[in-house]
Homo-oligomer: A and B are copies of this chain.
Amino acid sequence: MWEILCFKASLMDRVKKLEILLEFGKKIQAERNIEKLIKLLTEEATELLEAERATVFVLDKEKKKLWSLVGLGLDKQKIEIPMNEGIAGYVATTGESLNVPNAYKDERFNKEIDKKTGFRTKTILAVPIRNLKGEIMGVFQVLNKKDTTFNEEDEEILNMLASQAGVAIENSKLYSQLKEAFSSFIESLAQALDARDHITSGHTLRVANLSMLIGKKLGLNEEEIEILHHAAWLHDIGKIGIKDSVLAKPGKLTEEEFNHIKTHTILTKQILDKIKFYGKMKDIPLIASSHHERYDGRGYNLGLKGTEIPLLSRIISVSDVFDALTSKRHYRDPMPILQVLEIIEDGKGKNFDPKIVEIFFTLSLFEILNVIKLGRKKLKLTPEEENLLKSINLKTFFSFLKKKQNTPYGTKKPY
């Protein structure tokens, strides 16, 4: 009778654990961000196996490394170890599970991670993470079972978790690889287009980076930042249809030529409209092609006004003008920074959304210098110089320049 009851209790325990695993499985399969995925997996393992800590190592076959995020809470740090080092390395290379009752007595144990995190490892259970084909994707490790050592049942549960993890990690990898291929394709093409005219080389790279800086200061969320990134990289894609005799004309453009150049935003829209964007990415064609709209409604293509212009276009618009003015053009030299800042300040409410201009002026000199440098010759700064540049924002710098202009050292030039 007791036997039956005990058996029943352990069966019920098993049902409960299986139900948790099943429920948890959905959560991890829905997570495409690998770092968040690792966090979910370690939290679940810690709880389910009554361990003090858990680590998921992901195998990078090309680099022959295992990498992971270690530490506590928000302080997670990325670490990398050679794929055959430590307990995890042993598991990754042999495919065997290991149940280590005393870590410091096992010569395979790597004390370095404890040193880094200040944690004291006692017991370890480590199993390989495999995909459905059986290929090793990483290692799942739990540390310090509460009051005792890990047993066979723990090993079974960790193996179940690890096999769910294997599928989830593989999916997340594939998804992010595809995303990266997509982004890098956009970037490579935009750069090739810029390079048609040596003078605009690097323009889109700088506009994209400056837009990111403004977008982040504005507090855009992850999804909006991604869309801003794509749209900024694509804003001039319509230049594909602009004649290079006009694009690279040495000297001022005639009215007809200028009108030809202006069609690039229409082309940007047409090219992007053919792309099967989905979800919020569907806004990219409009966002990318509206960077010459003006806040006062006097821009093109559509003459949109104020908030009719997509917010992200209003950001790209400021970045685009800033980079154009600080760069050489066939008909003029790069403008002095004071003049550029004056034009942007004056454009508040005319060319630009005043709010975006204000945020632009909160950028530090260090940030803006890093953007200006992009795609150009490298500039080296000492740590002191860096800190100084970080402490000054554009607004302060602008006031300083304006003051200086009125001293005997400055020269006031109209633009």
Contact = CB atoms under 8 A, between A and B. Distances in A.
A191 B274 contact: yes
Interface string A184-226: 1111110111011000000000000000000000000000000
15 contacts: A8-B11, A11-B11, A18-B18, A21-B22, A22-B22, A29-B168, A30-B132, A30-B171, A177-B276, A178-B178, A181-B281, A182-B185, A184-B274, A188-B272, A244-B244
Given A30-B132, A192-B270, 18 more contacts: A4-B5, A11-B15, A22-B164, A26-B132, A26-B163, A30-B131, A30-B167, A32-B171, A175-B175, A178-B182, A184-B275, A185-B186, A189-B240, A191-B274, A192-B267, A195-B241, A240-B240, A243-B244
A181 B22 contact: no
Given A177-B278, A188-B275, A277-B181, A196 B240 contact: yes
A167 B195 CA distance: 43
B163 A240 contact: no
Nearest to A171: B171
Nearest to A176: B278
A180 interface: yes
Tell which of A164, A188, A276, A278 has the most Cβ of chain B within 10 Å: A276
A402 to B, nearest CB: 42
Nearest to A163: B26
A272 to B, nearest CB: 7
B196 A25 contact: no
A160 B240 CA distance: 51
A274 B171 contact: no
A177 B241 CA distance: 27
Interface residues of A, number: 65
Interface of A: 4-5, 7-8, 11-12, 14-15, 18-19, 21-22, 25-27, 29-30, 32, 131-132, 160, 163-164, 166-168, 170-171, 174-175, 177-189, 191-193, 195-196, 237, 240-241, 243-245, 267, 270-272, 274-279, 281
A267 to B, nearest CB: 7
A274 B185 CA distance: 8
B274 A187 contact: yes
A271 B29 contact: no
A11 to B, nearest CB: 4
Contacts of A25: 22, 25-26, 29, 164
Contact of A29 (B29, B244, B277, B279): B29
A12 B14 CA distance: 10
Contacts of A275: 181, 184-185, 188
A364 to B, nearest CB: 30
Contact of A181 (B5, B27, B182, B271): B182
Contacts of A281: 181
Contacts of A174: 32, 175
A192 B271 contact: yes
B276 A171 contact: no
Contacts of A175: 174-175, 178
Contacts of A188: 271-272, 274-275
